Amino acid sequence: MSVVVGVALETEALRQRWIAELVPLLEDCEVVDAETRPAEDIEVAVVGNPPGRSLERFPSLRFAQSTWAGVEHLAEDLPLIPVARMAAPEFSLLMTEMTLTAVLMLHRHIPAYRRQQQAAEWRPHPVRPASERRVGVLGFGELGRPAALRLASSGFQVKAWARSRRDDEVEVLTGESGWERLLGESDVVVNLLPLTPATRGILDREAFELMPEGAALVNLARGGHVVEPDLLTALDTGRLSDAVLDVFIEEPLPESHPFWTHARVTVLPHIAAPSNPSQLAPHVAANIRRFLDGDEPRFLVRP
């Protein structure tokens, strides 16, 4: 009897897209919509980032593969089965592209020109070379390192902050002193950290006060990293000049949220590195195949 792989993603349209991509890659498995099949049939689940305890609804589940790189919800209260997150070059490329886009936008004053356009104000800003712009990247893993190296290759002064010390093409700072130095010496701070109990709320009033007056924030990681009232205060007082935000504590961002109308906030609808089934299905199928062949799956969240 073939193994039943249940796709348990958020919408029927998304489930059908993933099923169409996975069926030819897992020909010896039965790839089904987990919402239309008895839960006890599902042995392998393809999920997004639901709470880990939600997997308990599949009593026969032996392995779960996420299509997300960030799995902070999935990592909570996991059942005792292997669960893997998504890691793929396609993710890194998209995140690097978005990081460079956001930094260049800030570097060339595009948000300021947008504000001036609304006021019909014609006022050029000085054009500085990238070599005079200091960029700090928070996180130096699968997403942060490629982004930092791309920024450096584009001419920016780049430092990164990570949990562990390492030698690389850009300077990597660690610890509390490294955190304070990176924030204090960055005109633009890009957040690409994973969301963990240690990093939740890490970008708060104290962090913003360490940054140079008029610096900008780019958050492409998770909304939970930012204390939103503190960010609004920093923008309102001029401590920070701009924020480019792709992620939020609540998504979709509520219509009443002040970010929507704040002149110094650029709101993006969580599009920095979307999970494209046609690009990522081969990686999902390969990890499922590793599990079914008795090998340890790659990028385990918890064994």
* Segments making up each domain of the chain, as ranges: 3-86+275-302, 89-267
Per the CB < 8 A criterion, the answer to whether 244 and 266 are in contact is yes
Instruction: Give the side-chain half-sphere CA count within 13 A for 162.
Output: 18
Find, among 230, 225, 269, 272, the residue nearest to 249 by Cα: 225
Q: What is the pLDDT of residue 78?
A: 80
Q: Is 222 a catalytic residue?
A: yes
Give the DSSP H/E element, type plus range, for residue 2: none
Sheet with 240-245, edge to edge strand ranges? 171-173, 157-161, 134-138, 188-191, 215-219, 240-245, 265-267
Q: What is the DSSP letter of 272?
A: S
Say which residue the tokens 């309102």 belong to.
236
The answer, yes or no, to whether residue 303 has pLDDT greater than 60, is no
Structure tokens at 254: 């509520």
pLDDT tens per residue, range 205-217: 999 999 999 999 9
Mean of per-residue pLDDT scores for the chain: 96
Percent of the chain surpassing pLDDT 90: 93
- Of the candidates 200, 205, 270, 290, the residue annotated as catalytic is 270
The answer, yes or no, to whether residue 165 has pLDDT greater than 70, is yes
Amino acid at 197: P
Superfamily per CATH, domain 89-267: NAD(P)-binding Rossmann-like Domain (3.40.50.720)
Stretch 27-37: mean pLDDT:
97
Q: What is the pLDDT of residue 156?
A: 98
Options 3.30.420.40, 1.10.1520.10, 1.10.238.10, 3.40.50.720; CATH for 3-86+275-302 is 3.40.50.720
Find, among 7, 6, 26, 9, the residue nearest to 290 by Cα: 26
Helix (H, G, I), strand (E, B) or coil at 82: coil
pLDDT tens per residue, range 227-282: 999 999 999 999 999 999 999 999 999 999 999 999 999 999 999 999 899 999 99
- Of the candidates 222, 239, 264, 283, the residue annotated as catalytic is 222
The model's pTM is 0.92
Contacts of 270 by beta carbon, 8 Å cutoff, 6+ apart: 246, 247, 248, 251
Q: Is 270 a catalytic residue?
A: yes
**How far apart are the C-alpha atoms of 100 and 108, rounded to whole Å?**
12
